[in-house]
Amino acid sequence: MSDKVYDVPSQWAQKAYVDDAHYKSMYAASVNDPNAFWGEHGKRIDWFTPYTKVKNTSYDPGHVSIKWFEDGVTNVAYNCVDRHLETRGDQVAIIWEGDSPDESRKITYRELSSEVNKLANVLRNRGVEKGDRVTIYLPMIPEAAFAMLACARLGAIHSIVFGGFSPDSLGGRIADCGSKVVITADEGLRGGRKVPLKANVDAAVNQIEGGVDHVIVVRRTGGKVDMTPGRDVYYDEAAAMVTDECPAEPMNAEDPLFILYTSGSTGKPKGVLHTTGGYLVYASMTHQYVFDYHPGDIYWCTADVGWVTGHSYIVYGPLANGATTLMFEGIPNYPSVSRFWDVIDKHQVSIFYTAPTAIRSLMQAGEEPVKKTSRASLRLLGSVGEPINPEAWEWYYRVVGEERCPIVDTWWQTETGGILITPLPGATKLKPGSATRPFFGVQPEVVDAAGGVLEGACEGNLVIADSWPGQMRTVYGDHERFEQTYFATYPGKYFTGDGCRRDADGFYWITGRVDDVINVSGHRMGTAEVESALVAHPKVSEAAVVGFPHDIKGQGIYAYVTLMDGEEPTEELRKELVAWVRREIGPIASPDLIQFAPGLPKTRSGKIMRRILRKIAEDQFDSLGDTSTLADPGVVEDLISNRQNKR
Ligand code: PRX
């Protein structure tokens, strides 16, 4: 923790949308009368039929139901594209920067309209209708945004699967939501390396009973791929057959917009469902206020559209606001560690939003690769995805932003749809490592283990006391799981799964997950998923996975593995298990350390005591706590003496 405080520069207080006094009055209005507040701000998007009802939400156990603007009718693609055509048709909507610095493209709102309509017609010709699910497995190319908006235009529900997931993970997600159409590319390109996306789709679809009806393949690299006649079509060939006019489907505010799978502490990833009206109002409003977005800004969020940050803050929020949003295909260190800063100069980026893990890895290369670039266009920096350590914060502030650019450390989740706790750059003083204060309409509370609400400066678990428009509505196909996961721990409140501290100024400091979810390079993972991948290996009898502090990734993956009787714990097997997990889930789930453990610490009833495993992985051997309830206290000694170290 750092005790430094950076006051709001007076220029920012004057020029930003809100200063501190304004924040306080707007915040009070938003929580005192949510109906009046959101009734007004809901008008920021265009409605085909205006809503007459605003908030209708219940967190009551057994009856959790979340509806916003429920009788309004609109269309997300209409709001992100059509409504801008008259005033800013020739303005650039998307700047695309390719993996190679030699490739970039600018797409105006008028061109975006034409592309989205064409893609929508290609889908429509293949029978896609309102309510159908479409899986998108694309690299960071403009077609990813076109595909999202094309689905939204038709009222189809998209489910994007990050290109780093394996065929198994992709197949599970296609099957879970019953998609009959998949949009992919021949290959992706990242850091000069090719990713076999179409081949992965083939492998995924082969596992699914009944397969899928259509696979639409965007040509990215031109690499040769297998095409199944009757099922697969190249996008450019299909697009050549259609017009660029497709009507926008009238959608009720509560009609689904997308499903996005995310990891929880138990079981398979959950299909987080977001709907139309409230989501778009919230994404666009947070994008405007948190980033103090003004017309003329060039805005760049480095996330992948496979994650929620890409949904809300590359595509929906910025485009709803008529912004120019930059989409980057590559990685921070290719072809050099100056790439981010080079791109900022090349496209005159003014607002830059990235993840702590990227900052920490670039920090390692020193200041020179940053300082040799200008970055004079920058005026605001943002951070998202995991707690930012004060050292990384200071480096970002001092070296990248030259002490000129406020940093908005934005806390939120796939489930929340948009940013919930964050500074507003003209209103909030900054404390490195703190996400600071709630956005309008957000009511955080800190509770103790028993659910008692803590007051003043305190530390405990973070819950949100009431709904906001961007909140997820359900787990796709499993409302019971939605209630159990988020509303059962502290009945009547949304439980975030995060721990946090509130200081005497009322600022929030997120301390990380308190459940069995880990955050590896800003990628969220359930330890249970990695465990089930490990135990699926024929030589593994049992596995327990925990996070451990990692300098670059934030958290690394530490796996304790018990082998089947007679199996030898060799270095070769260790490598085989890492490769196995990569294949089962994807490279982002590769264990960093595997410890072969003849026994795991279990209670007499057979429950693994993860607390002990976590402490060992964190090298905190002195604070293992009470081990007297273990069936065999001897295993702890063995685990400690064989603790794996970072290599
Ligand atoms: O633990 C919190 C962490 O990321 C989790 C949500 O992950 P995901 O759903 O993948 O969404 C990431 C992008 C919004 C949270 O429960 N997290 C996210 N942002 C921050 C954060 N932790 C601390 N500070 C943040 N700014």
**What does the pLDDT read at residue 646?**
60
Which amino acid makes up residue 291? Answer: F
pLDDT one-digit tens code per residue, 25-46: 999 999 999 999 999 999 999 9
- For ligand 1, whether the C-beta of 497 sits within 6 Å is yes
- Confidence label for 105 from pLDDT (cuts 50, 70 and 90): very high
Structure tokens at 581: 């997990």
Structure tokens at 63: 């009856």
- For ligand 1, whether the C-beta of 277 sits within 6 Å is no
Q: Output the residue whose Cα is nearest ligand 1's atom 6.
A: 413
**Structure-model confidence comparison of residues 394 and 623, the more confident one:** 394
- For ligand 1, whether the C-beta of 286 sits within 6 Å is no
**Structure-model confidence comparison of residues 587 and 3, the more confident one:** 587
Alpha-carbon gap, residue 448 to 96, rounded angstroms? 46
Which amino acid makes up residue 447? Answer: V
Structure tokens at 148: 């999202």
- Confidence label for 647 from pLDDT (cuts 50, 70 and 90): very low
Q: How far is the CA of 384 from the centre of ligand 1 (A)?
A: 7
pLDDT one-digit tens code per residue, 71-82: 999 999 999 999
pLDDT exceeds 50 at position 233: yes
Which amino acid makes up residue 175? Answer: A
Closest CA to 308 of 274, 277, 285: 274
Whether the Cβ atoms of residue 161 and residue 188 lie closer than 8 Å to each other: no
Specify the residue for token string 């697969």: 232
pTM as predicted: 0.97
Q: Output the residue whose Cα is nearest ligand 1's atom 14.
A: 413
Specify the residue for token string 């890492």: 578
Alpha-carbon gap, residue 131 to 154, rounded angstroms? 9
Q: Kindly state the DSSP code that residue 201 receives in the 8-state scheme.
A: H
- For ligand 1, whether the C-beta of 37 sits within 6 Å is no
Q: Output the residue whose Cα is nearest ligand 1's atom 5.
A: 413
Whether the Cβ atoms of residue 397 and residue 407 lie closer than 8 Å to each other: yes
Q: Where are the alpha helices (DSSP H) in 426-497?
A: 479-487
Q: Output the residue whose Cα is nearest ligand 1's atom 7.
A: 413
**What does the pLDDT read at residue 644?**
84
Whether the Cβ atoms of residue 435 and residue 421 lie closer than 8 Å to each other: yes
521 in a labelled binding site? yes
- Confidence label for 265 from pLDDT (cuts 50, 70 and 90): confident
Atom of ligand 1 nearest to the CA of 303: 13
- For ligand 1, whether the C-beta of 601 sits within 6 Å is no
412 in a labelled binding site? yes
Closest CA to 272 of 476, 67, 478: 476
The C-alpha angle with vertex 240 and arms to 239 and 241, in degrees rounded to 5, equals 90
173 in a labelled binding site? no
For the complex shown, is ipTM > 0.85?
A: yes
95, exposed or middle or buried, with CB in 10 Å at 0-12, 13-18, 19+? buried
**What does the pLDDT read at residue 266?**
84
Residue 619 contacts by C-beta under 8 Å, 6 or more apart in sequence? 643
Mutate to test the pocket of ligand 1, among 412, 420, 461, 555 (most ligand atoms within 8 A of CB): 412
- For ligand 1, whether the C-beta of 412 sits within 6 Å is yes
- Confidence label for 192 from pLDDT (cuts 50, 70 and 90): very high
Q: Output the residue whose Cα is nearest ligand 1's atom 22.
A: 386
Specify the residue for token string 């997931």: 165
pLDDT one-digit tens code per residue, 349-358: 999 999 999 9
Whether the Cβ atoms of residue 83 and residue 44 lie closer than 8 Å to each other: no
The two beta strands, 380-384 and 270-275, are unpaired
Q: Kindly state the DSSP code that residue 631 receives in the 8-state scheme.
A: S
Mean pLDDT of all residues belonging to the chain: 97
pLDDT one-digit tens code per residue, 293-331: 999 999 999 999 999 999 999 999 999 999 999 999 999
pLDDT one-digit tens code per residue, 471-501: 999 999 999 999 999 999 999 999 999 999 9
- For ligand 1, whether the C-beta of 519 sits within 6 Å is yes
pLDDT one-digit tens code per residue, 141-186: 999 999 999 999 999 999 999 999 999 999 999 999 999 999 999 9
Count, residues in the chain: 647
Alpha-carbon gap, residue 271 to 152, rounded angstroms? 17
pLDDT exceeds 50 at position 382: yes
Atom of ligand 1 nearest to the CA of 419: 14
What Å distances lie between residue 127 and 66, 91, 131, 136, 205, CA to CA? 31, 33, 12, 16, 19
Question: Can you tell me the mean pLDDT for 70-98?
Answer: 98
Q: Kindly state the DSSP code that residue 430 receives in the 8-state scheme.
A: B
503 in a labelled binding site? no
- Tell me how far the alpha carbon of residue 76 is from its chain's centroid: 20
Alpha-carbon gap, residue 289 to 293, rounded angstroms? 7
- For ligand 1, whether the C-beta of 18 sits within 6 Å is no
309 in a labelled binding site? yes
Q: How far is the CA of 397 from the centre of ligand 1 (A)?
A: 20
Whether the Cβ atoms of residue 98 and residue 329 lie closer than 8 Å to each other: yes
Share of the chain above pLDDT 90, in %: 95
Q: How far apart are the first and last CA of the chain?
A: 27
**What does the pLDDT read at residue 626?**
85
- Can you count the helices (H) and strands (E) in the chain? 22, 30
Q: Output the residue whose Cα is nearest ligand 1's atom 23.
A: 387
